[in-house]
Structure formats: structure tokens, C-alpha cells
Amino acid sequence: MRKLNIALIGYGFMGRAHSNAWRQVRSFFDVPYEPVLKVICGRDEAKVSKAAYRFGWEKHSTSWEDVVAGKDIDLVDICSPGDTHLPIVVAAAREGKFIFCEKPLANTLAEAEEMLAAVRASNCLHMICHNYRRAPAVALARELIGAGRIGQIYHYRGTYLQDWLVDPDFPRVWRLEKAIAGSGALGDLLSHSIDLAQHLVGEITEVSGLLKTFIAERPVPGSHMTDSVEVDDAALSLVRFKNGAVGSIEASRFATGRKNQNRFEINGSRGSIVFNLERMNELELYIDEGPESGFRTIQVTGKGHPYIEGWWPPGHIIGYEHTFTHTVLDLLKAIDDQRLPNPNFEDGVRNQRVLDGVARAAESRKWESVSQTV
């Protein structure tokens, strides 16, 4: 079996999820390369060392520059905060590595465009990680839409709702600081709804926007002080698609009781589709067929369902992290086929254009156009 040496930058939530995907993929799927978990990189020596042991990496490092320059490294996987993406990508592109980067591509549109230019200049293979595209139910939704099962699309209704900021005593962490996080619900959550919208419906060309911060000051951990929240708690937008469909998308960290409700509903001329990440193994489908019509709940765990052949018998559900396993599987296949995987940095830039449009519209209090030419 051919091997592919991986370097991972970042050992937080995403680092853990990506590590698992690289470690597990060969046990469940036929892969063209056996991924080798070569090195994991982070700023805190003690923590990254422990992460290397737990997540199964051969080595650890505290210098991403060294790691990216490593001759034995084939692929650089970037899971560090958004403000670090640009320099790492530029360096990795210069080294001609395969590049896999967490979303959103960058904290600003300008950085994202620069990253795309860098990978194009180096002609290296690049992918952005929008893992939810590869939940089997979402992949099935894409197949059904592609086959015309729900006809022409009229409506997209997307929400990404969480509630972890409702508590006013929740501290003022780095995710609430603009310089590091870029934005709040907008980049963290709405970017997922936008990616799914463009993946399933098509290009967004116009947006209106509303950004809201409900709680302006939060306690600074380990002090008696508070500091200001610099990012949005909620982001809402109405959108128009190039193909005539209209949509509403909304993300919030203040939706009490909604833990991870990445949900969309798509209404077409012949049917409708609903997905909710909290019930990730299910897809709701409505097809107009007279008195027997109804929204059906497909358990997307059976014969003929995307990615399921690697897992368990029907009705034995898979978990959140498996969406990453599917993503690295398809990345390995793209490397083997020497083609650009999907979604890649072009999609990342298109996503960032919409995020930027929503922010502009929230500021101008007008509808704003969005260019999708990359």
C-alpha cells in the first residue's frame, strides 16, 4: 500500500476530529494511500505532546514553519485559528504540498483571495473542509436534487443554531475577539449554511443582512474585569440565488435549546428536502404523489446510500466525526486521480464573498451584490 505522510497544524477541537479521520479511514474504506500520521504541530509543547500520544501521531512540533518545510511531508492539514491560515498556506504552497484547510478559509475576504492566488501560483492541490457536505444524508440530498427529484428549486431556508453564549457569565474567550476569530456566528456557523446553500441550490448573487450582539460585555477569565464582545452573536440574511430561488439563512449562538441545529429546508416544484445535523443520519423527503404524499424520514444508513458501504448494517447510525472521515477519503481519491477535490479554495473564496456581502449589507442597511467569479 502506498503511503501518504500527513502533517497536522492545530490540536484543538478540529485537530482532534481531523486526527480521527486520518487514523480511521483505512479501517473502513478502500483507500488509494495509507495515511501516515507523521507530525502534529501546536504552540504549547506540553499539550501538543499529549495530543500526539492520544491522537496517534508519530511526532509533535511547535514550529509550523519547520513542519511545512519537512521533506517527508506530503500533505499539510490546517486546523489552527483563522488568523493563521494565510501564512501557513502560502508557505505550504511554496513547498508544493497538498493542502487541506479548515473553514472559513480566512478571517477576511482579502486573505482568502490571497490564499487562492498562492495555491494557484504553485499549482498545488487544495481542499477546504466543509465536512457537512459529506454527511450521507446531505450527499443523498445532493444526488436527489441533481436527479431532478424535487424539480426546480424555489426556496432555501437554512439555520445554524446553538446556545452556548446564552449564559451572560460565559467568559470573553478568543472566539469573541475580532482580530483572532474574524467574526462570530457569521464565520463560524453561517458559513456552513452558505456552503450548503451554494452546494445544493447554486450561486448566491444578492444578500441583505443583520448582525446582532445581544450581550456586549463578558467577564475576562481569571479577573474581575469584563471586556467587550467584538463579534456578532447572531447573523441573519435574506438571499437571492442566480437561478431565481430565494432564501433565508440564519445563525445564532443564542437559540436556547438548539445545540447544533444545522438545518436546511429546500422547496422545489416537485418536492422538498429537510436536513438537521442533530439527526444527521436522517433525511426528510417530500415528493408530490397524491393522497399518499407526506414528508418521509429516510434513515440514510442503508443500501445505496452515500458512504454507508464502509460502515454498519442499516439502522446502525454513524457519528459526527465520520463526516471528516468521508472528507479525507475523497481527498485521498482526488490526490490519486490528480484532480482538484471539492470543495476547494475557489469554493472557500465564494463562501467568503457571501460572508463579506452579509457584513456589508448589515452595515449599509441595503441589499448588496455578491460576485461569484473566482
**Contacts of its own copies in 71-100 (CB under 8 A):** none
Residue 355's Cβ-side half-sphere holds a number of Cα atoms within 13 Å equal to: 32
Classify residue 13 by burial, with Cβ atoms within 10 Å: 0-12, 13-18, 19+: exposed
Q: What are the Cα distances from residue 211, in Å, to 32, 165, 216?
A: 45, 15, 13
Q: Among residue numbers 250 through 279, which ones bind its own copies (CB under 8 A)?
A: 250, 252, 254-261, 267-272, 277-279
Return the amino acid letter for 72: D
Rounded-to-integer distance, Cα 113 and Cα 103, Å: 14
Q: Least distance to its own copies from the beta carbon of 92, Å?
A: 26
Among 174, 225, 312, 371, binds its own copies (CB under 8 A): 312
Per CB under 8 A, 3 contacts its own copies? no
**Rounded to the nearest whole angstrom, what is the least distance from the CB of residue 56 to its own copies in the complex?**
6
Stretch that binds its own copies, among 98-106, 176-184, 188-196, 363-371 (CB under 8 A): 363-371
142 is a contact residue toward its own copies (CB under 8 A): no
Q: Looking at 114, 177, 321, 330, which residue binds its own copies (CB under 8 A)?
A: 321
| Residue placing its CB nearer to its own copies in the complex, 7 or 235 | 235
Nearer to its own copies, 250 or 356 (CB): 250
Instruction: Please give the Cα distance from 77 to 85 (Å, whole number).
Output: 10
- Our CB check for its own copies shows the closer of 64 and 254 to be 254
CA distance 214 to 6: 41
3-state secondary structure of 371: coil
Nearer to its own copies, 10 or 271 (CB): 271
Q: With binding defined as CB under 8 A, does residue 218 bind its own copies?
A: no
Q: Which of 20, 49, 193, 327 binds its own copies (CB under 8 A)?
A: 20
Among 124, 150, 176, 197, binds its own copies (CB under 8 A): 150
**Cβ of residue 126: shortest distance to its own copies, in angstroms?**
26
CB of 298 to its own copies, least distance (A): 4
How near is the Cβ of 262 to its own copies at its closest, in Å?
9
Question: If 0-12 CB within 10 Å is exposed, 13-18 middle and 19+ buried, where does residue 149 land?
Answer: middle
With binding defined as CB under 8 A, does residue 194 bind its own copies? no
> Contact at 8 Å (CB) between 207 and 370?
yes
Strand partners, 128: 101
Contact residue for its own copies among 62, 299, 342, 372 (CB under 8 A): 299
How far, in Å, are 158, 263, 282 from residue 315 at the CA level?
26, 21, 10
Q: Grid cell 446564552 — which residue?
A: 166
